[in-house]
Amino acid sequence: MPEFPYSRLRRWPDVEADNLQAHDATDLLLVDRALGVGVPGPEIAVIGDDYGAITLALTAAGLDGIRVHQDLASGRRALRRNADELGLSGFHSHELDAELLSGARLVLLQLPKSLAELEEIADAVARGAAPDVVLVAGGRVKHMTLAQNEVLGRRFTQVQPQRAERKSRLIVASEPRPVPADPPFPVTAPHDGLTLVAHGGAFAGARLDIGTRVLLEVLGLGGSQLLENGVSRGENGSKRPENDGSSGVVNGDRPSRVLDLGCGTGALAVSYALAHPEAQVIATDRSAAAVASARATAAANGVAERVVVTHDDAASEIPDGSVDVVLLNPPFHLGTSVHTGAATRLFQAAARVLRSGGELFTVYNSSLGYRAELARLIGQTEQVKRTPKFTVTRSIRSAEPVDS
């Protein structure tokens, strides 16, 4: 059989760089393992296949009917693009649900970043796959912890770490334990006027992130202010302009359109919708776990009808110049490596979707110093709050930003 052309795979639309590849040694170990055990394609499920390397290598090897779940919208697009490029088809994409797992006897998993995400996946496999399922989970040795074995051990009787190869390691989990009546996720937590609901893979779980809290305060949406139409003031006490959407109405006639870009559990979008019943609020995230969490958060706070939640990469489906206000708490980690390209992509997305004169509110770790980049990509940028850890800025979309 010819070698699978891994190097032809691309990460697009995800960040691409010379030191970032669309496959890793763990993918290769998982593929070798699957080819070695001889389970037919329709009984194989793949979870966490970043850019499609596992699914496509197995499909190319003649295993038809593989089911795959990818959390990220960008990963789903990369898989489709890579499949088209290589002329491969015959696999099926699913959410993390019964359709993905029913009857599966081999589940291949790229270990997720968080233990909570692993717990939700391990539970789903033990709950929904065939009774004799074998879960083969793999990762880079430097990112693996004993806690991952413990999490797997809560749902599987046998958990056997394998010898490391090429700096990656597989863990083989089998003999699922009986599962409790209710799955462990989503979890729910109340926060002074806001209930957050989180699936395992959502940023900060059901906690309110401190950066998010600082941004909510600046917007006049913190704590008991959630149910009032707060008008925020900058450090210099200046009132925000009339048409910034703080009343939920722009120019006295149409509802303001507000976008929570990278919404996670939806804390910003739902807080905004609670305080501004007139506003049209959209929440978007590239993570399916985040999208499911934000929808559940909107429902838990009674605003499901007023918050549209979309699974999309960098707001690609939102028309140019169509949004009045963007709220953004950007990521600064890309997978497990620190890489600011992920935040830059969202600044560029904000620049694209904002109308001229529209506002971007961003919170970030003060050490990151994004202000110059925001000014360059969006327009005039002022610091509206700084705590020892976080900075909140307000950028006004200029008609002609320097660089977009």
Residues of the shown chain interacting with ligand SAM in the complex, contacts defined by CB under 6 A: 203-204, 209, 212, 260, 262-265, 267-268, 285-287, 290, 313-314, 329, 331, 342, 345-346
CB of 258 to ligand SAM, least distance (A): 13
Matching residue, tokens 């496959």: 23
| C-alpha to C-alpha distances, 236 to 41, 216, 233, 382, 383, nearest whole angstrom | 63, 18, 8, 11, 10
Across the strands, what pairs with 396? Answer: 359
Nearer to ligand SAM, 171 or 215 (CB): 215
CB 193 within 8 A of CB 221: no
14 versus 49: smaller Cβ distance to ligand SAM: 14
Q: For residues 126 and 294, which CB has a smaller minimum distance to ligand SAM in the complex? A: 294
Task: Quote the CA–CA distance of 221 and 240 in Å, as a whole number.
Answer: 14
For ligand SAM, which is the closer residue by CB, 193 or 357?
A: 193
CA 316 from centroid of its chain's CA atoms = 15
Residue 244: Cβ within 10 Å count = 22
CA 215 to chain CA mean position, Å: 20
State which residue, 173 or 215, has the beta carbon closest to ligand SAM: 215
Q: What b/e readout covers 113-124, taking b as 16+ CB neighbours within 10 angstroms? A: eebbbbbbbbbb
Q: Residue 319, preceding bond cis, omega within 30 degrees?
A: no
The residue type of 25 is A
Closer residue to ligand SAM, CB minimum distance, 150 or 317 = 317
Q: CA-CA distance, 10 to 85, in Å (whole number)? A: 10
Task: Specify the residue, 176 or 266, whose C-beta has the smaller distance to ligand SAM.
Answer: 266
Contact 230, 275 (CB under 8 A): yes
Q: CB nearer to ligand SAM: give 276 or 311.
A: 311
To ligand SAM, the closest distance from the beta carbon of 268 in angstroms equals 5
The C-alpha torsion from 30 through 35 and 40 to 44, rounded to 10°, is 0
Please, are residues 191 and 150 in contact by the beta-carbon 8 Å criterion? no
Tell me the closest approach of the beta carbon of residue 318 to ligand SAM, in angstroms. Answer: 11
| Least spacing, CB of residue 24 vs ligand SAM, in Å | 20
Nearer to ligand SAM, 104 or 267 (CB): 267
Distance CA(133)–CA(155), nearest Å, equals: 12
Neighbours of 255 (CB within 10 A): 18
Residue 107 Cα distances to 83, 263, 347, 384, angstroms: 21, 29, 37, 48
Instruction: Determine the Cα–Cα distance for residues 157 and 125; give it in Å rounded to an integer.
Output: 13
At 159, which helix (H) or strand (E)? strand 156-161
* Shortest spacing between CB 121 and ligand SAM, in angstroms: 17
* Least distance from ligand SAM to the Cβ atom of residue 224, Å: 20
Cβ atoms of 47 and 79 closer than 8 Å = no
* Smallest separation (angstroms) from ligand SAM to the CB of 349: 7
Q: How far is the CB of 1 from ligand SAM (least distance, A)?
A: 36
User: Cβ distance 79 to 49 under 8 Å?
Assistant: yes
CB of 90 to ligand SAM, least distance (A): 28
Compare residues 11 and 257 and give the one whose CB is closer to ligand SAM. Answer: 11
Report, in Å, the least distance between residue 231 CB and ligand SAM.
21
Nearer to ligand SAM among residue 240 and residue 286 (C-beta)? 286
CB of 144 to ligand SAM, least distance (A): 22
Contact 96, 35 (CB under 8 A): no
